[in-house]
Amino acid sequence: MPPEFSPYQDRTMEQPERHLLDLLAELGETAVELYERIDLRREMEEHPYRTLAIAAGLGYVLGGGLFTGFTRRMVGIGARILLLPLAQATLGQMISELEADLQEGDH
């Protein structure tokens, strides 16, 4: 049985480089389209703090900060801050329902 033919066997080094350049050109075009669609200047003028927060968040993620101990701690703290009121509301609703059931049972 002859060895399988790979479609990449006959390619020279120029073809992957060309492919990379085409990919970079396409990425650049997409970035320009996105910039035009978002209208960053208007967004910065109308919502400067939101724009700054989004830019800082993107920079943090793209800079590799997503999988750090600091991020893990901040997510844990954020989850506790968000879950505590939710748990209190749920328990409060359950207690109210139990009290209502007990009052109906007494009558």
d(CA 7, CA 61): 36
Rounded mean pLDDT of 55-76?
87
Do 35 and 57 fall into the same domain?
yes
Instruction: Say if residues 60 and 66 touch (Cβ distance below 8 Å).
Output: yes
Q: Does residue 31 fall inside a structural domain?
A: yes
What's the pTM value of the predicted model, to 2 decimals? 0.40
Q: Does residue 14 fall inside a structural domain?
A: no
* Structural domain range at position 44: 24-65
Do 59 and 72 fall into the same domain?
no
Q: Does residue 18 fall inside a structural domain?
A: no
The tally of domains found in the chain comes to 2
Indicate whether 52 pLDDT > 60.
yes
Lowest mean pLDDT among 7-11, 29-33, 94-98: 7-11
10-42 burial, b for 16+ CB within 10 Å, e for fewer?
Answer: eeeeeeeeeeeeeeeeeeeeeeeeeeeeeeeee
Q: Does residue 82 fall inside a structural domain?
A: yes
Averaged pLDDT of the chain: 81
